[in-house]
Structure 1
Amino acid sequence: MSERTATHDRRMLEALICPVSQSPLEYDAERQELISRRANLAYPIRDGIPVMLKEEARVLD
């Protein structure tokens, strides 16, 4: 993956909002998750695709 593609993908991920709280998400590249601080949830990214379902989200510690 080129640096340009990685930057583009990151911007696309950061443009998503939490389906529960309607708040912005933080991209955690290391864990491949999108974090919603307001909803206290982490949505997984599987095979490059964000899974934006509450049932699939991990509750933050």
Structure 2
Amino acid sequence: MDTSASRVDPKLLELLVCPLTKGRLTYDAEARELISEKARLAYPIRDGIPIMLISEAREIKD
């Protein structure tokens, strides 16, 4: 797997917020997701591009 394609620019991560709550996101490198704790959603990162659509997010269950 090409790791450069799956990596996200750290500066971009600093700018991104959850589209639902406008809160901070946490980067989960292993799962390749951006996590919104407040919204309980995980946004996927595909080919190094964060998919910031609520409809594409995975719901985080307890």
Interval of TM-score (by shorter of Structure 1 and Structure 2): 0.7 to 0.9
State the Cα deviation string for residues 11-35 of structure 1 (Å, max 9, x = none). 4224310000000000000000000
Match of 2:21 in 1: 21
CA distance in 1, matches of 2:46, 2:60: 18
**1:47 shift after superposition:** 0.3
**1:50 shift after superposition:** 0.2
User: What percent of counterpart residues are identical?
Assistant: 55
Runs of 4+ in structure 1 over 2 Å off: none
Under a length normalisation based on structure 1, what TM-score does the superposition of the two structures give? 0.81
**1:9 shift after superposition:** 1.6
Give the gaps of 5 or more residues in structure 2: none
Match of 2:35 in 1: 35
Give the gaps of 5 or more residues in structure 1: none
Match of 1:12 in 2: 12
- What is the aligned-residue RMSD (CA, Å)? 1.6
Q: How many residues align?
A: 56
